[in-house]
Amino acid sequence: MSKQPEYPDINIPLLRQQQQRFQAMTPGHRACLGCGEALAARLVTEAAGPDVIIANATGCLEIFTTPYPESAWRIPWMHSLFENTGAIASGMEAALKAQGKSTKVLAFGGDGATFDIGFQALSGMFERGHNVLYVCFDNEAYMNTGVQRSSSTPHAAMTTTSPPGKMRMGKRHLKKDIVSIIAAHHIPYAASTSVAYPSDIRKKVRRAMSIEGSTFLLIHSPCPLGWGHDGSMTIEVARLAVQTGLFPIIELERGELTGTMPIRNSKPVTDYLKLQNRFRHLFKDGQREQEELEHLQALADYNMERYHLKDNDPDTLDSEGADTVGRRKVRWA
């Protein structure tokens, strides 16, 4: 056996650290500045690797990555409709299985395609157990068509179809608990995460990719245009959604809760709400406004209690530790 050559002048760990990651979604697309969905899609595809094929529902991600005749994708990618992404992905998976190929099918959709229009086909995909990872990029409204409310839009948020006024203070319904609904299909793995925590996204994508069967990942993805905040504040806004308890980061296997991201220093919901124009009507002086703020705080407190999120002891994987890409110069995900 020939001896491996030695290169004493080459720093191998540094070389690995500087090596460019595989990019399935290239720069130069037409997303808005600070788009949380663009960042989330890049993180997901980096973690998934090149041996995948994507079914992508109509929505912002589909629009800004594929303006004809251009495409930002370097992997097989197919545009599906709002309502049939689950069916398209199921067909892809069945065809690959018939050909004896191990390529993983990913399905992408926004909250409109996942929570609302496409839920019927999605439920069927999960019930049949297709080997597909479905990722929902949750920006909490129909952003591509003009910021209309969806069933993912938070209570009291202002959209073009839920304006605040004399009769109501923004959207009067609660945000749909889609993770619990999908976990009720008894799929092997369902989880939530946020663009504020890249390592958590990578860890959960790799976990889902390793599982044979249907898996689901919900990624909270702020939209500066629709939420009304500066593009430079996307990560800060996303992190505050977690730290206030309004967006719990959890994992469920076969419907049972198996993991949560603890919150080290919880913040009041007003810290999160005041950064966004979609909640600006709640900060006027008045009894109704105060009642809505108290209602939103109660919703956050309920999440804290339901998932046992409050933990003041420092943890490298809690809400303040997990946003660090590396620890002690060692990558953890």
327 pLDDT tier (thresholds 50, 70, 90): very low
- pLDDT score for 10: 74
Minimum mean pLDDT among 12-21, 149-158, 202-211, 253-262: which range? Answer: 12-21
- pLDDT score for 324: 55
- pLDDT score for 18: 67
Q: Domain for residue 236, yes or no?
A: yes
Report the SS3 class of residue 191: strand
Over residues 170-179, the pLDDT tens digits come to 999 999 999 9
Over residues 225-245, the pLDDT tens digits come to 999 999 999 999 999 999 999
Tell me the residue range of the domain where 73 lies: 23-323
Chain Cα centroid distance, residue 135: 7
3 pLDDT tier (thresholds 50, 70, 90): low
Q: Domain for residue 329, yes or no?
A: no
Q: Domain for residue 331, yes or no?
A: no
Q: Quick check: 275 and 229 in contact, CB under 8 A?
A: yes
Q: How many domains does the chain have?
A: 1
Q: Quick check: 220 and 243 in contact, CB under 8 A?
A: no
Residue 203, number of CB atoms within 10 A of its CB: 19
Q: Domain for residue 64, yes or no?
A: yes
- pLDDT score for 318: 77
Q: Domain for residue 330, yes or no?
A: no
Report the SS3 class of residue 252: strand
Q: Domain for residue 193, yes or no?
A: yes
pLDDT higher for 196 or 328?
Answer: 196
Over residues 250-302, the pLDDT tens digits come to 999 999 999 999 998 899 999 999 999 999 999 999 999 999 999 999 999 99
What does the mean pLDDT of the chain come to?
92
Minimum mean pLDDT among 82-86, 179-183, 240-244, 321-325: which range? Answer: 321-325
Residue 331 has pLDDT above 50, yes or no: no
Q: How far is CA 22 from CA 186, 192, 195, 208, 216, in A?
A: 33, 24, 19, 19, 23
* CATH code at position 124: 3.40.50.970
Q: Domain for residue 2, yes or no?
A: no
Q: Domain for residue 328, yes or no?
A: no
Task: For residues 91 and 85, give the distance between their C-alpha atoms in angstroms, rounded to a whole number.
Answer: 10
Look up tokens 């605040």; give the residue.
164
